[in-house]
Amino acid sequence: MKIDVRQGSLQDADAALVAVGLYEGEALPEEVADAPGVGDAKGSFRTMTRIYPGDPERLLVVGLGARDKLDAEKLRVLAALVAAEAAKVEAASLAWALPAYEDEAAAAEAIVTGTILGAYRYDRFKGKSDGEDEEDEPKVRLGSLSLLAPAELAGAAETARVYSEAANRARDLQEAPANFAKPEDLAARAEEIAAGNDNVTVEILDGDAIRAKGMGGLAAVSQGGPVDPRLIVLRYAGGGDSPTLGFVGKGVTFDTGGIVLKPGAGMPDMKFDMSGASAVLEATAAIAELGLPIDLITVVPSTENMPSGTAVKPGDVITQYNGKTVEVNNTDAEGRLILADALAYAIELGAERVIDMATLTGAVVIALGSTYAAVVSNDDELAGEIGAAGEESGELVWRLPLHDEYRDLMKGTVADLSNLAKKREAGTITASAFLEHFVADTPWAHIDIAGTAWDVNRAYTGKGGSGYGVRLLVQLARDLVD
């Protein structure tokens, strides 16, 4: 979407739809205060009043609620609702007068983000054949947003554009069905990211290289199906003097559960089991596009998890990249097996603080729903920084604890570790206790996004892939440098 910031009156906005905020109990800006029809407009939060005063032709009064209650999250929601109004009237261009708000840069970012995320549609496979009539889809798509605001907010608006478009690209990757998004396709996207930025390099390992390196977790999960796995590495050299950051993202392009086959009912959603991968790849792209002065190593282990005569079996023992042996007691706990190799590899490549993001456990959906992701960490400072970035970006995280009692549950019978805890309870934490074995003393945080990666149903994410994690990770990187 084209974004520009300019100071100007509502009459000069020159857009198919002009949005202006109204606080509860307050008045509209003088320029439109007496326009015909505005008397009906209300300031209560989320109330939208569309009127046709003549100049501007089409005005949307946006209820902001009480002045002291407005925050960035509410603005993202309102911006998405405005984008929905724009779709209704088939407006290709939108102007938004920045409401009076204490932190103008934050308000500008929130409006740009809510608009770009709210206008997102995944229509790759819809209405492509001749004569196909898509009645419920608008013919005209919103192509531009003009923020009527002081010109010095252009930088904030551009930053928000970059990370919000990145989040939408992550959603495209998430939404792509498993027959269109294979490990090689994630690798191709990583290559494209590297080709697009001089400071990004890429390295891809195929199945033979993965096995030769002794990445036994990724090898074992991939051995049930014909699709060749990939281990994807992106390196961004932005300079600066903070410790090299590492991102690791779970890239299971389809999780059937393997020999411990999942029930059929929820299985189509398992195309989303690469949401961690899409988030870290596109966050890396956004960080590079913004030119943030940090060094970053991003590692994505990617495979399908399929049952067959060659599949890994319950009880099989494998050796992970760092030499630890693991009993695969449940083939559906595959994410931790591939993350284990990738975490150890990222640290070997030079990551000094590592964050992994993964749709790892159904348990986190029960614990936190789709409002918060879970973070589990061996480092209070890193966990605190992620929490703060969550509050700033609106991609919230809530910390869960580690404890020796959880760690004990992951010990193996014939091998060092089991990939399945001795009891079902606290499944998100026991999965983390497993991962902890592969980061040694490196500050590390695991973010379980199984509840937040799709069907979040906020105004600006709706159903389907949410792009969760891109904005959080970009915010974290920004916080590191300012």
Q: Does 255 bind Zn ion (CB under 5 A)?
A: yes
Kind and range of the H or E run holding 113? helix 104-118
> Residue count at the site for Zn ion (CB under 5 A)?
4
The correct pick among 165, 273, 304, 448 for binding Zn ion (CB under 5 A) is: 273
CB-wise, 165 or 273, nearer to ligand BES?
273
The correct pick among 109, 165, 175, 255 for binding Mn ion (CB under 5 A) is: 255
Q: Does 327 bind Mn ion (CB under 5 A)?
A: no
For residue 89, the cross-strand partners are: none
Question: Residue 209 binds which entry of Mn ion, Zn ion, ligand BES, none, with Cβ cut-offs from 5 to 8 Å by kind?
Answer: none
Separation of alpha carbons 394 and 68, rounded Å: 18
Q: Does 356 bind Zn ion (CB under 5 A)?
A: no
Q: Does 362 bind ligand BES (CB under 6 A)?
A: yes
Chain positions 368 to 397 lying near ligand BES, rule: CB under 6 A, are none
CB-wise, 224 or 462, nearer to Zn ion?
224
Kind and range of the H or E run holding 77? helix 72-88
Q: Does 361 bind ligand BES (CB under 6 A)?
A: yes
Among 91, 117, 112, which Cα is nearest to 14's?
91
Stretch binding Mn ion (CB under 5 A), from 220-228, 331-339, 392-400, 440-448:
331-339
Instruction: Pinpoint the alpha helices (H) of 331-435.
Output: 335-348, 363-368, 380-393, 404-408, 427-435
Q: Would residue 42 show up in a list of annotated catalytic residues for this protein?
A: no
**Who's near 136: CB < 8 A, 6+ residues apart?**
none
Q: Does 304 bind Mn ion (CB under 5 A)?
A: no
Kind and range of the H or E run holding 471? helix 470-481
> Residue count at the site for ligand BES (CB under 6 A)?
16
Among all chains, which residue has been given the structure tokens 């569309």? Answer: 50
Q: Does 251 bind Zn ion (CB under 5 A)?
A: no
Among all chains, which residue has been given the structure tokens 């819809």? Answer: 126
Backbone dihedral angles phi then psi of residue 150, each to the nearest 5 degrees? -55, 140
Stretch binding ligand BES (CB under 6 A), from 4-12, 74-82, 174-182, 354-362:
354-362
Q: Does 465 bind ligand BES (CB under 6 A)?
A: no
Q: Would residue 336 show up in a list of annotated catalytic residues for this protein?
A: yes
Cα of 183 vs its chain's centroid, Å: 18
Separation of alpha carbons 233 and 193, rounded Å: 11
Q: Which residues bind ligand BES (CB under 6 A)?
A: 255, 273, 330, 332-335, 359-363, 365, 420, 427, 450
Catalytic residues: 262, 336
